[in-house]
Structure 1
Amino acid sequence: MTLTRLISSAGLLAMFLCASVVHAETRVTYKSAKTSSSYYQMAVQIAEAIKAGTGGEVIVTVEESQGSVQNVKEVMVRSGNYVFTTPPALIKQAQTGQGKFAGDDPAKYNNVRSLFPIPSLTMHFVVRADSGIKDFADLAGKSILIGKGSFGAREAEKYFQLFGLEGKVKLANVELGSAVQALKNRQIDGFATSGSFPAPNVVEAAAGIGVQLLSLSDEQVVLTKRTKLLIPAGTYPGVDYPVTTTSLPVIAYATTDMADEIAYQLTKAFWEQKQKMAKSNAWWGGVSPEMLSNIYGKLHPGALRYYQEQGITVPEAIR
């Protein structure tokens, strides 16, 4: 009888432990970007931060993506704890059946809910420090590498057109990975790139070659129809002045399939670990609760609960 009771007790204990393990390892899929991008690095950092912030109760698996459009479209086939990153403008397009989502049923995207902002895509116009280029007008007749098929390349081309430089700038439309070496070899006068700041390729160029960053005037910012952003002085070696540029906000989203408690834990862990992440990667330092104003679409109820607990002002439009 005693042996039977021991076996029974052991069985109950094993079931309890198994249940605890399952509970302790809530799985979340985080759809990010290409593995070569800074946004994939951010995703890995967020995964580590959430594991630490939840004491291992939430485990995030990072998946590579070919871009934000793919991330949004997968909402139609994903279920459960699916987190993805995208500019909020794409959520608006998806929910209104516009742009890349014109052939989709907008109702399929109505379950998207926001969690927290991450570093914005920030435009950088980088030129050699000894090039004599001081503003955009000076780019006429110069060779600028803009990357190939990237958001930054499309933005750069658009800006040159808006600023009266179409056909006047020699565009090197090749892979952005060769920009720093091409600048070092004087094959180009500068390059345009988008990414969170400080951008690794701009840091490399500034430290190894010496560069200047071009600022946009307020009028030019208005023409771009993008969000104005100020890169602080000293962000890059030798760039001892603030740089006015534009940005495209990026937000981490989930869906209503995610339980409120999980969304709460994700949001809480992100903000509580942000300062620690910023010590290792400066781009996290620019993320603040004020960036909630960039969100399109409603907050997940679990995320909203966290912001309300912290007394953070939440725009009425996303409540």
Structure 2
Amino acid sequence: MKKIIAPIFIVLVLVLSACGDTKYLSVATASSGGTYYPIGVGLGHLWTETMEEMKVTGQSSAGSIENIDLLRKGEADLAILQGLIGAQAIEGSGSFEGNAYKELRSILMLWGNVEHFVLMNNKVETGTIEDIEGTSFSVGPQASGTEESTITIMQGFNLTKDNITTEYLGYDDTVSAMRDGRLDGGSLPAGVPVSSVMDMYASGVNASVLEVTDEQLESINNIYNTWYRFVIPAGTYPNVDEDINTIAMPNFLAGSADLDEEVVYELTKAVYENLDQVHEIHSSAKEVSLETALDGLPAPLHIGAYNYFVEIGLEIPDELVPPEAN
């Protein structure tokens, strides 16, 4: 009997020892009906499958603002965040007025919300976003992320809601109102192509996506430094045969500064060494690439991600160098 029990005991000790080395991490996302949740869950599966002694799971949440709270309290290890919310959190402004989260660290850019300021052509003068002044314009549903980002962009070229006749419509309703002559334009930020913008062009609404100049981009980033240049290629939308020069805000992976350096290094490395699998997670995940890894990140890099990017030769902008690297 002792001869039987001894080997079983040894096996159990080995199994328990192995389990003791496993690291368990969670990724805060958003509600299960959006894009954050499937991408967070998909990345968790990828890391779990490709990294030894690592178990990563996605958890649903109310979105970016709650995700900051979860990171701060240690109730999530990683989070997907909207760039503007990340910028507000680390600066202690907007939704985080007087409650800055200085320990927030960027890990990598995932995909961008591309700004589509659309306007009826009879209101277009310069062809840029400043043309919305004096028009009836939808800034998105009230209290939405669209409204917050649109108002911030407007601040970058010295406009407020007082300079437009403000409407609060969803994307499809915006295009419908433009088609019916009840609205001049609206803000429709999303991943390209945006279905409502496809409908606008395909159904013959006499309107265009406005461009953003380099000077306007710089002024907008003086408010919150989280937008980056994005070119919508010609042919993306029906009957549009020229590139559209606009901007985008990142949805990015983040963590707290105290998250283990080596763990974050390995997580970052696993993403870029398994891009084919990453791109299969979701259509928006196809944007993940080394070329866009640092675009629009609002907080300094985590030291683990920083070490990986330096190792592979990426040039790190000064504002993204973490204090821990000095």
User: TM-score, normalized by length of structure 1?
Assistant: 0.75
Instruction: Identify the residue that residue 78 of structure 1 maps to in structure 2.
Output: 74
Within 2, Cα distance between the matches of 1:187 and 1:42?
A: 37
Instruction: Identify the residue that residue 54 of structure 1 maps to in structure 2.
Output: 51
Amino acid at match of 1:274: L
Q: Any conservation in 2 of the 1:142–1:189 contact (CA below 8 Å)? A: yes
Secondary structure, counterpart of 2:274 in structure 1: helix
Within 1, Cα distance between the matches of 2:67 and 2:85?
A: 10
Task: Give unpaired runs (5+ residues) of structure 1.
Answer: none
Post-superposition Cα deviations, 1:7-37, rounded to whole Å, max 9, x if no partner, equal: 121122133234435645x332212234444
Within 1, Cα distance between the matches of 2:108 and 2:29?
A: 14
Instruction: Identify the residue that residue 246 of structure 1 maps to in structure 2.
Output: 247
2:146 maps to which of 152, 157, 161: 152
Post-superposition Cα deviations, 1:132-173, rounded to whole Å, max 9, x if no partner, equal: 565353885556463332232234345567476966754331
Instruction: Identify the residue that residue 235 of structure 2 maps to in structure 1.
Output: 234
Q: Any conservation in 2 of the 1:215–1:243 contact (CA below 8 Å)? A: yes
- Counterparts of residues 224-303 of structure 1 (less than 5 Å): 224-225=220-221, 226-278=227-279, 281=283, 284-285=286-287, 287-289=289-291, 291-292=293-294, 294-303=296-305
Amino acid at match of 1:119: W
Q: Is it true that 1:191 corresponds to 2:186 in the alignment? A: yes
How many residues of Structure 1 are paired with residues of Structure 2 in the alignment? 309
Instruction: Identify the residue that residue 20 of structure 1 maps to in structure 2.
Output: 18
**Residues 215 and 113 (structure 1), Cα distance of their counterparts in 2 relative to 1, 3 Å cut:** closer
2:210 maps to which of 214, 222, 235: 214
* Identity fraction in percent: 19
Amino acid at match of 2:43: I
Within 2, Cα distance between the matches of 1:89 and 1:142?
A: 25
User: TM-score, normalized by length of structure 2?
Assistant: 0.73
Q: Any conservation in 1 of the 2:84–2:149 contact (CA below 8 Å)? A: no
- Counterparts of residues 152-171 of structure 1 (less than 5 Å): 152-157=146-151, 162=157, 169-171=164-166
Secondary structure, counterpart of 1:215 in structure 2: coil
Q: Any conservation in 1 of the 2:108–2:254 contact (CA below 8 Å)? A: yes
Instruction: Identify the residue that residue 308 of structure 2 maps to in structure 1.
Output: 306
Within 2, Cα distance between the matches of 1:247 and 1:64?
A: 24
Amino acid at match of 2:187: A
Within 2, Cα distance between the matches of 1:100 and 1:255?
A: 19
Q: Any conservation in 2 of the 1:145–1:176 contact (CA below 8 Å)? A: no
Within 2, Cα distance between the matches of 1:190 and 1:270?
A: 39
Within 1, Cα distance between the matches of 2:7 and 2:202?
A: 65
Within 1, Cα distance between the matches of 2:255 and 2:183?
A: 42
The more displaced of 264-273 and 248-257 is 248-257
**Residues 44 and 75 (structure 1), Cα distance of their counterparts in 2 relative to 1, 3 Å cut:** closer
Task: Give unpaired runs (5+ residues) of structure 2.
Answer: 222-226
Q: Could you list the runs of 4 or more consecutive aligned residues of structure 1 that deviate by over 6 angstroms after TM superposition? A: 208-211
Q: CA deviation at 1:267?
A: 0.9
Q: Any conservation in 2 of the 1:263–1:302 contact (CA below 8 Å)? A: yes
RMSD: 3.8
